[in-house]
Structure 1
Amino acid sequence: MSMSPDGLWSIGELAEHAGVTVKTVRFYSDRGLLPEASRSSGGHRRYGPGALDRLRLIRSLRALDLPLPEVRRVLDAEGEPGPALADAVAGRLREVGTQLRALRWRETALRLVQEAPPEERADRLRLLGAMTTPPTTDAPARFWRAWLPARMPARSVSAFLEVAVPQPPDDPRPEQALAFARLHALTSGPCPGGAQPQPEAHREAGARGAAVLYAGLAEAYELAAVQLRRDRRPCPGDALDGFVAAYAEAYGIPDGPGFRHRLARQLAADPRLDRYWELVSEVTTRPGARPEPTPGAAHDWLLAALDADLAAAG
């Protein structure tokens, strides 16, 4: 690896030893990534012995598709560049992961359109084309934020959204992708009859009472989910008592037969919410696995249990 008497290389010599073009060396030099040691009397660039290793490192980093600012950060790291390199690689891995998710969703969407019956193709294209790739949870989150009381504590809202809003799978099966597209359409479309109405329970409980209500409902739904997993028919018991108690505490009214009759009249079924929870189940159920009870399924089970309790009491 011969060098000139002054121990420096010309730009052409450095390019030859590195196995790259002169244009490549000039590109990295012009961006300050490959400093020159000096200039010849004729103004030509001259590079020191460390330039070859630096150029090889730049090429290796660029081969990993690290952007130039990240390459500069690694090169400028004082002492051992390990931590800077680790951070740059971790960031690039996150970006690649997002790109792979987008490609998997795009492939699944294309197959759904390609394999759809001719009469359904346009509708599927509309559903899938309305989402970003990969999709976000923005639409269902907005749907629930509009449905919950406006001044409900932020911590309670976050806890509810964590349960109510499903994350889109990284590698969706066709049926999952289609269900998520329908969920997006359901929650981003206009509500029947105009603005989304607040449930009567929210108006009566108020914002702070609603926080108490949803904390109690979460416990009641867990108890009801146990019964659903056992295929138990709706019936009175701890789950129903906890369900009614959540409303009673939020309203500041004692539990009793009169309150239960009133609650049964107040909690009317909402077809839109029923459809929402059906789609959530389709999105979250693993292949070959039994669907896990959703909060919507638990709520319906508890309403049926309330009706059974009132019927038994006459």
Structure 2
Amino acid sequence: MATESDRSPTINNQNRIKQIIDHLLDPEDDTHPFIAAFHLHEFKAWACFPDRRGRVAVDAGRSATIAYLEQIEREYSKKRNILRGQKDSAQRVISLLKLDVFEELFDLGVQPNGGWKALLNCQRPDALREAAKERLIQAQTAADLIELRIRCLIHHPEHAKLANLMHAYVLRWYARSLPLLSPATIRKHWRQNKQSAVFIYAARSVGFELIPRDASAADFVESSVTDSQNVSHLQTFFGVSAYVAEQFDDEFAWIRRCFPDETSLGRIQPKILPLSGEELLVLQAVKLHDLDLAFKEGGHRPPILEIGATR
């Protein structure tokens, strides 16, 4: 059984994220596939709702755990007949808890988070997935801000000092190829998603599915295990995440500490274009034309042509 020190009720902390990443990238040979699948499912739920103090991830973990435990019960009942004659539910649970994987999953997803009774207040898996879909739509604003800054850092190192959050706010405000958002909305989306913004951007960059699967679906167990066993895709996703986090000084220091060193996880530079001439114009004009002040006040956006004409 897990010790009390292992039983954190949330995954909203550096050590837990690091444990999950380590487990996914370098699973132990004797680890049951359901354990890695559980960790990936929990991580995805946290990444979609990083501002919920891990509560959504806990619900996702509970639902996934039940799906895995039910599958274990079906498999062992059919193949090994260990539950034959045990009609009493308590006896069945006791027998199942003697199985290492059942015990480990119970310790991960049920026992530390309120036990069986907490399942009564658990968000439905299908509702959680739909909520995650909606949340990731607005979370793309946070990914946009990361991308604008990374494009500046990689392709325009002479302007590295301008690749800060305020300049990214203004660039996003002026972005013509993206949906128009108010300054208040841009700030709100960043505030809600900043803890996992690096992962949200990396997922978009490499086509990694960050929306957790519906744990009540018939194919959940098989599909979630397949996802967690695609180590090359996980390495690409986390490799881009690590590269991006390391481009910033101390802003994402806690995320940088979650990754293994480069001998274990190669850093991968995302394939992105330089800033356009118009974007560079806005970037360089932020201070000159008080665009940061205009953004903070949520007022009028000076036209691009007006900025260029008065340089």
Q: Check whether TM > 0.5.
A: no
The TM tier, using the shorter chain, reads: under 0.3
Q: Which TM-score applies when normalising by structure 2?
A: 0.23
Tell me which structure has the larger Cα radius of gyration. Answer: 1
